[in-house]
Structure 1
Amino acid sequence: MDEVAKAVEECARSAKRAAPSLAAASEQAIDAALDSMAQRLLTHREEILAANEADVVKSRADGMSAGLLDRLTITPERLDGMAEQLRLLAGAPHQERTIEVSTLDGGLRLIERRRPVGVIGANYEARPNVTVDVASQLVKSRNGGVLRTGSAALGSAQRLVETVIAPALTEEAINADVIQLVPRVEREAAAALVRLPSLVPLVILRGSGESTRALATEAAIHGVGTLAHADGGGVLYIDEAADEAKVCDLVSASLDRLGVCNRLNLLLIHDNVHDAMWPSISAALAERGVTPSLAPHEHAIGYEWALDSDHEATVTVARVAALAEAVEIANDKTSGLAAGIATESETAAEAFFDGYTGTGVFWNAPTRLLDGFKLLAVPETGINLDNVPGPRGPVTYTDLYVRQYAVLPA
């Protein structure tokens, strides 16, 4: 076994050994640990921000794009937001661990029990805040974790684990080894993480489309389950019954950050209102410093600009003849992350909602809202787009369990 794979396996074994400590912890201890993490973020803010600044300076010198640098950066305001999310998570209700289902023949009772997965892996790149987001979700759901990030964010992630996560767990007599951060930066570490079904049966994958899809394939080969967030890109359809002022507000609100998956990526405009509304829509794009990609397009219509380090400040714009055409494009030509309709017609909105099969659908609201914290008031581990039963949309601590049926006497 090479040194990288060995380091990942050692982390997995440490987390598995420590997992019973978390599984047996009281709800009060878990919530106290999360509250302590929130406080430690603020108490140690200067050293956390300094470690992050060092990561940003190095990555900027290495030529990282503006969008990726934005993901990498922890500003004082974002750090405050991380702390607030932890406080909200601490106050969120714990999942019921047993649920009465029915009575069977002979007076026997059927109960559904929710058990932790055990140890869950997570692979993510230049997003140090994800270290806290995922670790806190795992702690709340009583799962151990093996976190792997790339070289760009490793310094920030290590500081967050050392000064925030581990001490908070130790304070509450929870074995801090339950949350592991892989110390290796090689990309091989990500592949090693998805090859350990007996130690890490589930891995959360976040990152660029191609690399994440490749890891999901590798995981499937080795019998490891994944919750993969590979592709994104929000769609906005401007209906012929749309209000022009609302449209401009939606366009602007959807482009407040360009390096995120739920930003506006594809703008579809009904033929009947295109010419009249285009000047104001174009102005709204210009105010955000965003360039429209107009027909004829030299790229796939659903091309995700957030993953293009050279052209992040771009939105694809296309004309459509009808609502049904917009729905077809959103369903067949994009990732299925999120799509919205701008319209004053309830009938049109209902038709769009009925037709679109993606993860999130919005009426006169920006797709930027497809986020665990914004929708559910708790952090997320990622957004799952699978078209199969199971967690879909923002995945939170309420989804990170396995079901067990128990039959017992009445």
Structure 2
Amino acid sequence: MTTDPHGEVLRAGRDASAAHPSLRSAGPDAVRAALTGMGRRLTDRSDAVLEANRADLDAAEGVLAPALIDRLRLDATRLARMAAQIEALSRIDDPDPLVGTRALPDGLVMEERRRPVGVIGANYEARPNVTIDVASQLVKSRNAGVLRTGGAALGSAVALHDEVIRPALAEAGIDPAAIQIVRTADREAARALVAHPRLIPLVILRGSGETTASLAREAAAHGVRTLAHADGGGVLYIDHAADMGRALALVERGLDRLGVCNRLNLLLIAAPLWVDAVPRVHEVLDRLGVRPSMPPHGHPLGLEWALEDGSEATVTLAPVEGAAEAARIANDETSGLAATVVTEDAAAAEEFLSAYAGTGAFWNATTRLLDGFELLGAPETGINVDHVPGPRGPVTFRDLVLRQYVVRPEAM
């Protein structure tokens, strides 16, 4: 692994930029072949990938919390799931590059077109599957890429790049240098990734809140745009008219993995149900090995437990007067990632859904569904929770484009 993080990022960016024309001009058949090749090699080269992942897991044992080790772990089932998602992505038709036209005076016509960004960077947490998710989205959108992951997953990411991504591109006739992996665990590489606006104008940021926020500020200082996924934490509100069997099942479904952003983080219960519901919720949490944080709380209601080292197996519980207060808390005291209302009362559900301004709003469904593949049928590069125009929610290949306006003579 290189010891010069800034030089490594510059080299990767330049190599990706030089290879981008090969990917940009690739037709649908070539891109489809590259993606299906990646899916096939996840199975064919699984031994090499899993060996690298075992080395990462061994190094992480006793260093990372159990929930983070779970995010780091690969196995045959997870590789098969990754392969199935890429195969599904390969079958999605490319968006028409021509969005629309408009006649202008003097015999001219305006065309609105979609164009690839060019080279897109990505800095993400120690989750090997994200290497494949991001790479596949970049290939599908005809963008070259420079990927950097946390040191805990670097061996797995390099194996996925060298054994899966790079050879699949080459076999499809696409320059394999179009997708680069930063081969250093030095955190300075993350700062270098957001410092070159002419070379890497857009960087996808995923990870813990403060780290990602710091990189976003660094990027802004250099004129690099970011799609940041820093904060998460799902909210579940059990309304006075909830089916408690359904509510408890959704509590359990929201805690099937503790290290992911869309897991259940804050459980709000209508005050009339509080005394009867809390013991039943505790039974579910006890069975799952999850600790309830009860009022009075010594922490913000929206504290994201997935980012609390050693306390990931925690859920905050709080009483609320009704749907309006639940939506207000979800808006004001959480990241705005996702919230669900559990109720059999359509009016209460609509009150909550209309008031909640977050990225994903659900009725009688788990916030774990806020996922690119679950909602949109395509792997995601991350989930954007910005409250400004632009890609919001699961960001997929459809979002990794620029608008271009072409004006030309109508008759030509």
* Coarse TM-score class (shorter-chain normalised): over 0.9
Residues in 1 aligned to 2:159 and 2:20: alpha-carbon distance in whole angstroms = 22
2:334 aligns to what SS in structure 1? coil
The one-letter code matched in structure 2 to 1:45 is S
Unpaired stretches in structure 1, ≥5 consecutive residues? none
1:37–1:164: 8 Å Cα contact kept in structure 2? yes
TM-score, normalised relative to structure 2: 0.98
The one-letter code matched in structure 1 to 2:109 is R
Equivalent residue runs for 1:7-406 within 5 Å: 7-61=8-62, 63-406=63-406
2:125 aligns to what SS in structure 1? coil
Deviation at 1:351, TM superposition (A): 1.0
1:41 aligns to what SS in structure 2? helix
Deviation at 1:358, TM superposition (A): 0.4
Residues in 2 aligned to 1:85 and 1:309: alpha-carbon distance in whole angstroms = 30
The one-letter code matched in structure 1 to 2:360 is G
TM-score, normalised relative to structure 1: 0.98
1:66–1:309: 8 Å Cα contact kept in structure 2? no
Residues in 2 aligned to 1:251 and 1:98: alpha-carbon distance in whole angstroms = 44
The one-letter code matched in structure 2 to 1:245 is G
Deviation at 1:297, TM superposition (A): 0.4
Residues in 1 aligned to 2:146 and 2:5: alpha-carbon distance in whole angstroms = 14
Deviation at 1:406, TM superposition (A): 1.1
Deviation at 1:147, TM superposition (A): 0.3
Residues in 1 aligned to 2:318 and 2:125: alpha-carbon distance in whole angstroms = 32
The one-letter code matched in structure 2 to 1:302 is G
The one-letter code matched in structure 2 to 1:366 is T
Deviation at 1:95, TM superposition (A): 1.4
Deviation at 1:407, TM superposition (A): 1.5
Deviation at 1:409, TM superposition (A): 2.0
The one-letter code matched in structure 1 to 2:43 is L
**TM superposition outliers: structure 1 runs of 4+ over 4 Å:** none
Deviation at 1:172, TM superposition (A): 1.5
The one-letter code matched in structure 1 to 2:364 is N
Deviation at 1:99, TM superposition (A): 2.2
1:206-241 alpha-carbon deviations (Å, 9 max, x no partner): 001110000001000100000000000000011111
Which one is further off, 17-26 or 107-116? 107-116
Residues in 2 aligned to 1:101 and 1:364: alpha-carbon distance in whole angstroms = 42
1:132-153 alpha-carbon deviations (Å, 9 max, x no partner): 1100100000000000112211
The one-letter code matched in structure 1 to 2:264 is L
2:48–2:163: 8 Å Cα contact kept in structure 1? no
1:286 aligns to what SS in structure 2? helix
2:111 aligns to what SS in structure 1? strand
Residues in 2 aligned to 1:150 and 1:244: alpha-carbon distance in whole angstroms = 41
Deviation at 1:280, TM superposition (A): 1.6
The one-letter code matched in structure 1 to 2:260 is V
1:267-300 alpha-carbon deviations (Å, 9 max, x no partner): 0101011112222222112221111100010111
1:247–1:281: 8 Å Cα contact kept in structure 2? no
RMSD: 1.0
The one-letter code matched in structure 2 to 1:280 is R
Residues in 1 aligned to 2:268 and 2:356: alpha-carbon distance in whole angstroms = 14
Deviation at 1:333, TM superposition (A): 0.3
Residues in 1 aligned to 2:387 and 2:109: alpha-carbon distance in whole angstroms = 33
Residues in 1 aligned to 2:91 and 2:402: alpha-carbon distance in whole angstroms = 23
Deviation at 1:107, TM superposition (A): 3.8
Which one is further off, 102-111 or 357-366? 102-111
Residues in 1 aligned to 2:100 and 2:383: alpha-carbon distance in whole angstroms = 30
The one-letter code matched in structure 2 to 1:100 is G
Residues in 1 aligned to 2:96 and 2:387: alpha-carbon distance in whole angstroms = 26
Which one is further off, 391-400 or 283-292? 283-292
Residues in 1 aligned to 2:133 and 2:5: alpha-carbon distance in whole angstroms = 25
1:146–1:182: 8 Å Cα contact kept in structure 2? yes
Number of aligned pairs? 408
2:68–2:259: 8 Å Cα contact kept in structure 1? yes
Residues in 2 aligned to 1:198 and 1:390: alpha-carbon distance in whole angstroms = 21
The one-letter code matched in structure 1 to 2:214 is A
The one-letter code matched in structure 2 to 1:130 is V
Deviation at 1:263, TM superposition (A): 0.3
2:223 aligns to what SS in structure 1? coil
1:49–1:75: 8 Å Cα contact kept in structure 2? yes
2:152 aligns to what SS in structure 1? coil
Residues in 2 aligned to 1:125 and 1:382: alpha-carbon distance in whole angstroms = 11
The one-letter code matched in structure 2 to 1:29 is A
1:204–1:226: 8 Å Cα contact kept in structure 2? yes
Deviation at 1:198, TM superposition (A): 0.4
1:364-400 alpha-carbon deviations (Å, 9 max, x no partner): 0000000001111110000001111110000000000
